[in-house]
């Protein structure tokens, strides 16, 4: 017997349109999350109640299975029936008010990825600092150093020596 989507206003799985239907999860917490997401008053799903694939982000739907062989190659096979990821919940409601459709936050990066990004950023900052903090000659050093001293210091230099005693005036 064909099952139709339980989302209000959805025409999927009727005689004219076909989409995969996913049963409500058995885990009570996730089941409540799904019920809240579809916004139906006094709704209690049965074991045959489904939500069609049109209401799930593509990242939640698994259409292929992959396995890594002992030699390191990856073998991928298309699934006969799509399934959902463990954290999937309906988020797309085209025939409903816009506030019902929720944007799924991006997946969190792993701790190692965040560490790598920080290290890469720090190395880039260090490279930029080293490229821009070069002293090409003693004359360039003296010229730059004069501008960094406050008025309480004197600056005296010759071709190969510079002295900056504190001004006693």
User: pLDDT digit string (tens) for 35-56?
Assistant: 988 888 888 988 888 898 888 9
H or E element at residue 116: helix 111-132
Q: Label residue 17 by pLDDT band (50, 70, 90).
A: very low
Q: If you average pLDDT over residues 68-96, what whole number do you get?
A: 86
Judged against a pLDDT cut of 50, whether residue 62 lies above it is answered with yes
User: pLDDT digit string (tens) for 110-148?
Assistant: 899 999 999 999 999 999 988 887 778 888 888 888 888
Torsion sign (Cα): 54, 24, 87, 78:
negative
Q: How far apart are CA 20 and CA 13, in angstroms?
A: 8
Tokens found for residue 33: 């999350």
Nearest to 52, CA basis, from 93, 16, 15: 93
Judged against a pLDDT cut of 50, whether residue 99 lies above it is answered with yes
* Bridge partner list, 61: 84
> Which pTM does this prediction carry?
0.55
* Bridge partner list, 22: 51
User: pLDDT digit string (tens) for 149-163?
Assistant: 887 888 888 888 888
Predicted confidence at residue 2, as pLDDT, reads 57
Judged against a pLDDT cut of 50, whether residue 15 lies above it is answered with no
Q: How far apart are CA 134 and CA 144, in angstroms?
A: 11
Q: How far apart are CA 21 and CA 168, in angstroms?
A: 87
Nearest to 133, CA basis, from 122, 124, 121, 141: 141
**Can you give the residue ranges of every domain in the chain?**
21-105, 113-163
């Amino acid at each position: 017997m064909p099952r139709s989507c339980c989302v209000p206003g959805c025409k999927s799985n009727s005689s004219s349109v076909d989409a995969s239907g996913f049963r409500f999860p058995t885990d009570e917490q996730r089941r409540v999350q799904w019920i809240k997401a579809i916004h139906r008053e006094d709704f209690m799903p049965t074991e045959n109640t489904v939500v069609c694939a049109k209401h799930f982000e593509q990242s939640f739907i698994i259409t292929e299975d992959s396995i890594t062989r002992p030699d390191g190659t990856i073998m991928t096979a298309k699934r006969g029936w799509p399934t959902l990821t463990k954290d999937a919940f309906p988020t797309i409601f085209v025939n409903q008010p816009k506030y019902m459709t929720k944007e799924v936050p991006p997946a969190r990066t792993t701790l190692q990825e965040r560490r790598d990004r920080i290290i890469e950023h720090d190395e880039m900052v260090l490279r930029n600092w080293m490229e821009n903090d070069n002293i090409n000659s003693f004359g360039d050093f003296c010229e730059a150093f004069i501008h960094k001293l406050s008025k309480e210091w004197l600056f005296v230099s010759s071709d190969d020596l510079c002295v900056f005693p504190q001004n006693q005036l």
